[in-house]
Amino acid sequence: MARQTGLIKLKGTLDNVSFYKTKDGNLARMKTSVDAKRIANDPAFERTRENGKEFGSSASSGKVLRDAIRPLLQNASDPRMVSRLTKIMTQIKNLDATSARGERNVGVGIAIPTAKALLKGFNFNKEAILGSILYNPQTVDPATGVITINGLVPINEMAIPQGATHITFKGTWAKVDFATGEAEVQETNEVNLPIDATSSNVVLTPTAVPAGAGTDLYLLMVAFYQEVNGVQYTLKNGAFNALSIIEIQ
């Protein structure tokens, strides 16, 4: 694809060139001369069909995870989160060393430690990276899902956006079976603290152990609020909120 320049930006098709607008600006690309029916049936496009099938499977795995934690994503995600997550899922799919070409999938690849390492630390809001906001280390007990942040002094150990007066911590333990598309989620309590010099131990405990089989993912969300007349309001519609996978088993 090419980027349109000049004062006049086109939309539509001209001489087999499609002009369109995206979040990256006004772009242009050549229309393909191969119709969908040929791609679906012509033996010459077998590799293309295999690649497309695997890409679709990777995208579906990303959707399984997103659906499982959707309430959190409503308050902590960026516009390109879906594509970023799909890219990671595709890399995990590529680690499937047993399935035939066209059948490789995240459900098999995720069992490899290298695959888990790819997903660990994923930030759902790239505008609010957890490690750039919270400097105090977090610990996770995989057996109980308890997340602990000891001796947190918000004013000293956090990057505080302008206007924030309070901060809320919340954890999630998600058990996701990427092979079947099933997921079970248990959320923790919330801990709300004023942004001051007081030292606090943050302990986030899931309500229960998620049932079923699959990959265990432990997530931490940090949300900023502004208090006005005794009521806390989400700061900038959640633009500064962080949500990250801090552990995976």
pLDDT digits (tens, 9 = 90+) for 54-112: 889 999 999 999 999 999 999 999 999 999 999 999 999 999 999 999 999 999 999 99
The answer to whether position 216 is within a domain reads: yes
The answer to whether position 20 is within a domain reads: no
The answer to whether position 14 is within a domain reads: no
| pLDDT score for 166 | 98
pLDDT band at 243 (very low <50, low <70, confident <90, very high): very high
Q: Which domain holds residue 157?
A: 67-249
The answer to whether position 158 is within a domain reads: yes
pLDDT band at 248 (very low <50, low <70, confident <90, very high): very high
The answer to whether position 47 is within a domain reads: no
Number of domains in the chain: 1
Region label for 34, one of left (φ > 0), alpha (ψ between -120 and 50) or beta (otherwise): beta
The answer to whether position 78 is within a domain reads: yes
Query: What mean pLDDT is reported for the chain?
Result: 91
The answer to whether position 11 is within a domain reads: no
Percent of the chain predicted with pLDDT > 90: 76
pLDDT digits (tens, 9 = 90+) for 129-160: 999 999 999 999 999 999 999 999 999 999 99
Which candidate, 185, 66, 62, 81, places its Cα nearest to that of 128?
Answer: 81
| One-letter identity of residue 249 | Q
Who contacts 238 (Cβ-Cβ below 8 Å, separation ≥6)? Answer: 74, 75, 76, 223
73 in helix, strand or coil? helix
Give the C-alpha separation, 95 to 105, whole Å. 9
Residue 226 C-beta-side C-alpha neighbours within 13 Å = 12
CA dist list (Å): 164 to 76, 104, 167, 232: 16, 46, 8, 10
Give the C-alpha separation, 81 to 136, whole Å. 25
Summarize the confidence of residues 44-51 as an average pLDDT.
74
Predicted TM-score (pTM) of the model is: 0.84
The answer to whether position 2 is within a domain reads: no
Q: Point out the least confidently predicted range of 11-15, 70-74, 147-151, 170-174.
A: 11-15
Tokens (6 digits) for 157: 């150990």
pLDDT band at 47 (very low <50, low <70, confident <90, very high): confident
219-230 burial string, b = 16+ CB within 10 Å, else e? bbbbbbbbeeee
